[in-house]
Amino acid sequence: MIVQNEKGYVFFSSITRPMKATYCSTGSNEDFIFSDYYSTWFLVCSNVTDNSGNSTAVSEQLFRTNRVEFTQLAAEYKVVNLGQGFPDFSPPPFIQEAFCKAVSGGPTMHQYTRAFGHPPLVKSLAKFFSGIVGHEIDALEDILVTVGAYQALFCAFQALVDEGDEVIIVEPFFDCYQPMVAMAGGKAVYVPLRPSGAVLSSGDWVLSAEELASKITARTKAIVINTPNNPIGKVYKTEELQMIADLCIKHDLLCISDEVYEWLTYDGAKHVKIASLPGMWERTVTVGSAGKTFSATGWKVGWAMGSGQVIKHMKTIHQNTVYHCATAAQEAVGHGFEREHKLFGSPESYFQQLPATLQQKRTKLAACLESVGLQPVMPEGGYFMIADISSVKVNLNDQSTDEADDFRFVKWLIKEKGLATIPVSAFYSPEHRKEFDNYIRFCFVKEDSTLDAAEEILRKWSQEQ
């Protein structure tokens, strides 16, 4: 349902919740960029004017950074898209081959496999991660394979959070955490990472131990962390994780650790698994993603790892929701991990090559952003970079004054410069949003041609200044 009010705002009563929209018109079509608490949605609405001059919306497609449609949109309106958070290049050949091999494999590749995870996959995951976690992982008891890390998070919240439980979420957070907590009847309690000092790197964004401790109540059930973090790129250090671990142990909390970007760390930053700290294995659910690991987000293969005592409850959720995950993709991912296990630490390992490639892209993007007065926060990990827009002098030329600064800036950037990004305050809770509305997020897991195009836009812009 679209309603237009006098300010020109369009309220789209979406299937979930009302969202505020701002629209910018580029050419004959009108693009609506929606933002709500959880995400930024892009609506393409083709308006057609009939003979009386009345315009009617002909077709609407509501999508959220959908690559397929957004690519068409980007091509049509010449938007260079550094907003959507997934690769625009293909997965590595060895994983694609593994998939093709699985597809042309015997009939069992196309029928149900073991519900909680295809045996070859869970075995290779257990083998691979046991050494890293410092704990012998039982392939059948301690691992649940899910439809993407997204479903692993869903199972965790559904299995462990009851009505009235509180769940601490470290901000900025991947937008799905809050609705999932809400769906489980829980209450989200937010603690922000705060920039301290010069803020040149994601490492300068820190969690205050006092602030975190102050949020814990008798009803607190769990804490959700994401390392490397989306959108900032922070890679939590051992001491920081230890601080969180100490509180988890002291207050007997669970920890849900979203580590989908675990292989993407730069400048020698080390990804540390909170589950490997003493006292944490039995209370931590570690979530991983084949999509992020092997640049194949469309396969939707993820997993949760943890003590069998906790995983078993997630299995109950899983068997009453989707029950099985697709077989062939699991087979391929299993082979991927076998290969990586053999090549671990060597230059041929994809887990070495991908971060090395991305580090270069990171450097390049940061330099481009600096040249126009945007202040990037160098991410220690992940494939996103946030940049401070405060010192950029632009006339935003828009009538909307009660909208967050970063949203207005993103809109302007698309309209005037043809560069798509995501406003960072969308990753914050309502109560803290205003404090963090001067950052926008860029994604750099893109082909060089995409980054070159972005560079071109930024170069031109800096010349105009």
The footprint of another protein on residues 93-122 (CB under 8 A) is 96, 99-100, 103-104, 107-113, 115
328 binds another protein (CB under 8 A): yes
Residue 398: closest CA among 22, 140, 36: 22
321 binds another protein (CB under 8 A): yes
Q: HEC profile for the chain? A: CEEECCCCCEEEECCCCEEEEEEEEECCEEEEEEECCCCEEEEEEEEEECCCCCEEEEEEEEECCCHHHHHHHHHHHCCEECCCCCCCCCCCHHHHHHHHHHHCCCHHHHCCCCCCCCHHHHHHHHHHHHHHHCCCCCCCCCEEEECHHHHHHHHHHHHHCCCCCEEEEEECCCCCHHHHHHHCCCEEEEEECEECCCCCEHHHEECCHHHHHHCCCCCEEEEEEECCCCCCCCCCCHHHHHHHHHHHHHCCCEEEEECCCCCCECCCCCCCCHHHCCCCHHHEEEEEEHHHHCCCHHHCCEEEECCHHHHHHHHHHHHCCCCCCCHHHHHHHHHHHHHHHHCCCCCCCHHHHHHHHHHHHHHHHHHHHHHCCCEEEECCECCEEEEECCCCCCCCCCCCCCCCHHHHHHHHHHHHHCEECEEHHHHCCCCCHHHHCCEEEEECCCCHHHHHHHHHHHHHHHHHC
Residues 262-291 that bind another protein (CB under 8 A): 270, 272, 276-283, 291
Site string for another protein, 245-264 (x = CB under 8 A): ----x--x-x----------
Single out the segment in contact with another protein by CB under 8 A; choices: 206-214, 256-264, 292-300, 411-419: 292-300
Q: Which is nearer to another protein, 151 or 229 (CB)?
A: 151
How far apart CA 33 and CA 349 sit, in angstroms, is 39
91 binds another protein (CB under 8 A): yes
Site string for another protein, 386-425 (x = CB under 8 A): ----------------------------------------
349 binds another protein (CB under 8 A): no
217 binds another protein (CB under 8 A): no
Single out the segment in contact with another protein by CB under 8 A; choices: 47-55, 198-206, 313-321, 346-354: 313-321
Q: Which is nearer to another protein, 152 or 225 (CB)?
A: 152
Residues 118-147 that bind another protein (CB under 8 A): 131, 134-136, 146-147
Residues 418-447 that bind another protein (CB under 8 A): none
Residues 141-180 that bind another protein (CB under 8 A): 146-148, 150-151, 154, 158-163, 176, 179-180
Single out the segment in contact with another protein by CB under 8 A; choices: 297-305, 343-351, 366-374, 430-438: 297-305
State the nearest-atom distance from the C-beta of 223 to another protein, in Å.
13
350 binds another protein (CB under 8 A): no
State the nearest-atom distance from the C-beta of 379 to another protein, in Å.
21
465 binds another protein (CB under 8 A): no
Q: Which is nearer to another protein, 83 or 192 (CB)?
A: 83
Residues 52-71 that bind another protein (CB under 8 A): 60-61, 63-64, 66-69, 71
Residue 65: closest CA among 35, 23, 25, 24: 35
Q: Which is nearer to another protein, 184 or 378 (CB)?
A: 184
1 binds another protein (CB under 8 A): no
18 binds another protein (CB under 8 A): no
| C-beta of residue 92 within 8 angstroms of C-beta of residue 298 | no
317 binds another protein (CB under 8 A): yes
State the nearest-atom distance from the C-beta of 137 to another protein, in Å.
12
State the nearest-atom distance from the C-beta of 388 to another protein, in Å.
28
